[in-house]
Amino acid sequence: MSNLVTRVLFALIAIPVFVFVIIQGGWLFALTIALLAGLGAKEFFEMSVHKAAHPQSFIGILFSAALPVIAQAESTFNTHLFAVVIVAMVLQIFAIELFRNKPNALLNVASTIAGIAYVGGMFTCLVLLSTLFTEYHIDFLNGTLRTQVKYYEMFFPTVLMFAMFISIWVCDSAAYFAGMAFGKHKMFPRVSPKKSWEGWTAGFIASAVVFWCIMHFFYAEFPAHHAIIIGALIGIIGPLGDFAESLLKRDANIKDSSNILPGHGGILDRFDSVLFVAPMLYVYFRVWILLS
């Protein structure tokens, strides 16, 4: 079976499943993200081994998978566990390193914490984003914060999630085809030799247009300038996530982060842009709420 057929068949199965998970939201979404975070952290720690690090992989995977679950628990049960978990995590990592008797202790601790922050922390922002509007919503017409959520507004996080994923995909596709046709000026040839400024510009514009179209279709009252700004930011931040993962893979001298996704590489290969875009979106809406 060719690689293209494998890619298509896997996508035909995986995409509907992930769409269902996003629509369902809640704990199913949080647990799915936790699974992805754990697998992604495993890939990160396997990469770090190529650089003579001895990360605490089990602890790193455990904490990376736990963070999305804790984020959902914060929303569901109004707990306040995040600070406690972060402090416990750092203390535990240092304590374990004292007894491991492994070389490169500084590199071991740094790679473990970096993996949790980069993979677990970034993935957790998807859950934080999905739960952000459970108590509050923004009155898009007046720019004010309200606590009474109407029924149709409960679907806003779902629409936002789809708009994010679709915009990232369109950005990547537009950048690829525009780069193939017009790309002459390379962005970071030492990291990703095929990526060009022309392709990035096309992706940037396409992302802004698509995000605005989706938000306007479902929420006509959503301010156009916010939609365009968010879409443009996706077009800027998304490729940075791609470059960041490419930088790590090149340093580790590997092509894919893993082969867990048939024909698509690893978790980090598929979600590299999402890991950067999700925190940006969460911060954007959190600031919007605070200022409203």
Residue with the larger pLDDT of the pair 32 and 195:
32
- The structure's pTM equals 0.91
205: CB partners within 8 A, 6+ apart? 174, 235
Which sign does the torsion angle of CA 82, 86, 91, 96 carry?
positive
How many other CB atoms are found less than 10 A from the CB of residue 56?
A: 23
Question: Following CA atoms 255, 259, 265, 268 in sequence, which dihedral angle do they give, to the nearest 10 degrees?
Answer: -90
Predicted pLDDT at 144: 52
Predicted pLDDT at 84: 86
121: CB partners within 8 A, 6+ apart? 67, 279
Q: pLDDT tens digits for 242-269?
A: 999 999 999 999 998 988 888 788 999 9
R_g of the chain computed on alpha carbons: 20
Q: Report the distance separating Cα 220 and Cα 237, nearest Å.
A: 25
Instruction: Check whether 181 has a pLDDT greater than 50.
Output: yes
Mean pLDDT over residues 220-240, rounded?
92
Q: pLDDT tens digits for 271-292?
A: 999 999 999 999 998 888 777 6
